[in-house]
Amino acid sequence: MSDLKIIPSRSQVILHDQVRNNLEWMTVTVAVREHGPEKTADADCVGLALSVTSSFGAFGYEWGNIQRQGSVAAAQAAIDFLLHIDRDTFLDRLLHGDQAEPDFEKTIAEARRRASSLLEEHDPDSRDAERLRLSILALEDGIEDIDSNHCDSHRVSLLLETQALWDLFPHDAHEIRQDGPSRRRREGEGFYDRLWHPYLAHLSTGGTPDRGTQ
């Protein structure tokens, strides 16, 4: 026998809009839930659930307790909250668990910077300087050989296995790695800047986005 249970939701959908901005699009749903009498301590708070599907991906988060002032309606309290939450905090909630990822371009820039600094420490006519120049040339060849079709994480791994890199930095080549925003983070930032922020601008005037606007 099935253990499935369906509990009726007390949430109320206050926004359900389809938004377009040139080629980008999103469908956004915002629902609020007023705390029942059994939660008298939270009577001045409401729950808020945000769900988005978009050309940048799907995003969502649920805030359990949004503060509201006085007799402000639950829907208005939720909208006010969304209008005033700052960009970084908002994205951190939507991208919870997001981790920085290896950045290939930043990593090779760091390798070149360190190699240049290392070379400057030696007499340009010395044998050590000549050895360093040969290692730098070998490193550049190794960089060129790394397939650009690979993701940054794999390309950085290949770079860190390059013998020329270890010839240059035998004790700390692994420290050359540089991280940057993950693909998910970049998608989230694109969603915010191209869709969410303009949408908030409409909400701040008390309206909703014009349907069909390109």
Residue 69 has pLDDT above 50, yes or no: yes
Helices (H) and strands (E) in the chain, counts: 8, 6
Torsion from C-alpha of 204, 98, 18, 200, nearest 10 degrees:
10
Alpha-carbon separation of residue 63 from 16, 24, 45, 95, 134 (angstroms): 18, 26, 10, 14, 57
Contact indicator for 190, 53 with CB cutoff of 8 Å: no
pTM over 0.85: no
Contact indicator for 75, 47 with CB cutoff of 8 Å: no
Continuous segment of H or E residues that includes residue 112: helix 104-120
Give the pLDDT of residue 207.
Answer: 60
Distance CA 93, CA 98 (A): 10
List pLDDT tens digits, range 92-142. 999 988 889 999 999 999 999 999 999 999 999 999 999 999 999 999 999
Q: In which band, very low, low, confident or very high, does the pLDDT at 54 lie, cut at 50, 70 and 90? A: very high
Cα four-point dihedral sign 127, 129, 135, 138: negative
Contact indicator for 21, 210 with CB cutoff of 8 Å: no
Q: Which of 37-51, 71-85, 130-144 is the most confident on average?
A: 130-144
What is the average pLDDT across 15-34?
94
**58 has which bridge partners?**
53
Q: Which of 175, 155, 63 is nearest to 102 (CA)?
A: 155
Instruction: Give the percent of the chain with pLDDT over 70.
Output: 92
Distance CA 11, CA 5 (A): 17
State both tokens at 143: 């960089």
Average pLDDT, the chain: 89
